Amino acid sequence: MRALISVYDKNGLVEFSRELAGLGWEILASGGTSKVLGDAGIDHIEVASLTGFGSLLSGRVKTLHPAIHAGILADRDNPSHLADLVEQDIEPIDLVVCNLYPFKSQPSIEMIDVGGPTMVRAAAKNFAHVGVIVNPDDYVPVLDELKTLGELSAGTRRRLAREAFAHTAAYDTAIVSWMDGGGLSSEDAAGGDTVASGAAAAGVATVEATSGGATSGGATASGTTASGTTALPPVLDLNLELADSLKYGENPHQRGARYRVRGQTDWLDSMVQHAGRELSYINLFDTESAWWLAYELKASCSQEQPYSGKSENLEFSAVIVKHANPCGAALGGTMADAYRLALECDPVSAFGGVVAISDHCGIEVAEAMVEGPQADVIIAPSYDPQAIEMLVARRKATRLLEAPPPHRPSLSVRSLGDSFLVQDNDIVSMDTSRFEVVSKAVLPEGSMNDVMMAWLVCARTTSNAIVVVNNEQAVGVGAGQQSRVEAAEIAVTKAGDRSNGGVAASDAFFPFRDGLDVLARAGIKVVVQPGGSVNDKAVIDAANEYGIAMVFTGERHFRH
């Protein structure tokens, strides 16, 4: 039995090779692998002595030779293949052990492996007769099977082949994404070693754009649309691997799992669960929404802003999410204050929701949570051990999650039948210099923080959405209504008297004045909206009638 070993990742190489040789296998090795085996005193045949060629073209050609690939690809059940091997004096290769240059961590032209993927694909194609290992984690189970059976079973060879094809697919995906991200410079093309940063590999399918011919949106070869804007890529390669099996999907009869981009890690991979039940699809979906908004609020609204009227910064943010929508959000001078204020928005809806806090969960905030309604999930950047004990004692089912700051990819991908909808992720601009007061009434002193907070929370609420904020505290949320008027009615009803003197945000323009009438009757003094309706003048006139300050942001934030 003969094995060909050519690996970049040398972890476990010596131990595996020594045991393989001990089982009577003959080992072929190339380049650096050969040197490591030689230094370890492991008998092997150097590939160059087999092919009659040393390393060529600065290492670009080492294993690309018929003596190698005919040995891998020969169908042992085909007499003509076997005759060819005999005629050319080529021995079959029964196992290929190969992992590739680390392109994802060191993207450049010279990190694009050619010989490695060729060997891997050849072995995987011929899995009926040849085993292939691309992951050092498979060394032990392969050795165990060889010791037990004397050979690899058909099932194992098939499993390894599938892993190999997934490995090369992810590798090519990373290269395409790097090139789409501008990672190919003239120096790279000339063979230089420049490492250029590019877009990370997007997430098992190759998705071809179907609008505008060969490219999405009528994009030209230069990657721009007819309007001059940058086009989305004509091909989006999604290569995903199972990261976590979940308790269930949105409902108990649905399976659920989390996948991640193959070969990459996400902030969720660093998340630690300290207590509580197994996570479900909805738990994770809502947790991401809450965690992201908590950090956005802290980053955008927790400092003194023009006209804020605050003598000190509000450094802490808390968000409560139920079914992907905020039902509480607030800033506070302490973490416990921020949580209590967030809970005041809608304590009934908060039951069974997700609580996200921007800073350390200490004893004081844990006490407040114990006094509050049951949460399905609590997520924080860190916990006091005593806080965990308190929460576990009173809230055994609550999932206590500790996580690093969240991050989002540049593109959002959603399945639509057998197609996919792709768009840029929605970034909410908090540049107040772009905000325009279009009413006769000016912004009341100290209202800018509320304007910013209302706008941000509204952007993260399902459309149609109206959010009411008063004194850095969300007090009413109207989410997911077909009618903007009904969204306004829900928001001010939940806010009650807290609407008086507050700020209301609308995720899209008011098509008529009726939505503004609802807010005005509730005592709202400032309205922030994108503008852009043919009836903007009528709505502004209504604002002037009520003495409401109206702010146009120029940017809509629908969320579906």
The residues annotated with a catalytic role in the active site are 125, 323
One-letter amino acid for residue 472 of the chain: E
Q: In what order do the strands lie in the sheet with 399-402?
A: 272-275, 399-402, 377-380, 354-357, 316-322, 325-332
With contact defined as beta carbons under 8 Å apart, do 381 and 360 qualify?
yes
Helix (H, G, I), strand (E, B) or coil at 273: strand
Question: Could you tell me the sign of the dihedral formed by the alpha carbons of 349, 352, 354, 357, in that order?
Answer: positive
Which helix or strand (DSSP H or E) is residue 242 part of? Answer: strand 240-245
With contact defined as beta carbons under 8 Å apart, do 44 and 20 qualify?
no
Alpha carbons 340 and 67: distance in angstroms, whole number: 72
Tokens for 382?
A: 């860190």
Residue 493 — φ and ψ, nearest 5°?
Answer: -65, -45
Radius of gyration of the chain from Cα atoms?
30
Alpha carbons 315 and 333: distance in angstroms, whole number: 6
One-letter amino acid for residue 253 of the chain: H
Alpha carbons 128 and 154: distance in angstroms, whole number: 7
Cis status, amide bond into 471, omega within 30 of 0: no
- In the numeric block, the tokens 């005005």 are attached to 520
Among 295, 279, 274, residue whose Cα is nearest residue 356: 295
Longest dimension (CA), the chain: 97
With contact defined as beta carbons under 8 Å apart, do 432 and 301 qualify?
no
Burial class (CB in 10 A: 0-12, 13-18, 19+), 90: middle
**Other CB atoms within 10 A of residue 352 CB:** 14
Alpha carbons 289 and 457: distance in angstroms, whole number: 11
Alpha carbons 33 and 55: distance in angstroms, whole number: 13
Alpha carbons 376 and 364: distance in angstroms, whole number: 20
Alpha carbons 8 and 413: distance in angstroms, whole number: 33
Alpha carbons 242 and 34: distance in angstroms, whole number: 34
Residue 176 — φ and ψ, nearest 5°?
Answer: -60, -45
Q: Is 163 left (phi over 0), alpha (psi -120 to 50) or beta?
A: alpha
Alpha carbons 288 and 267: distance in angstroms, whole number: 10
Alpha carbons 430 and 296: distance in angstroms, whole number: 10
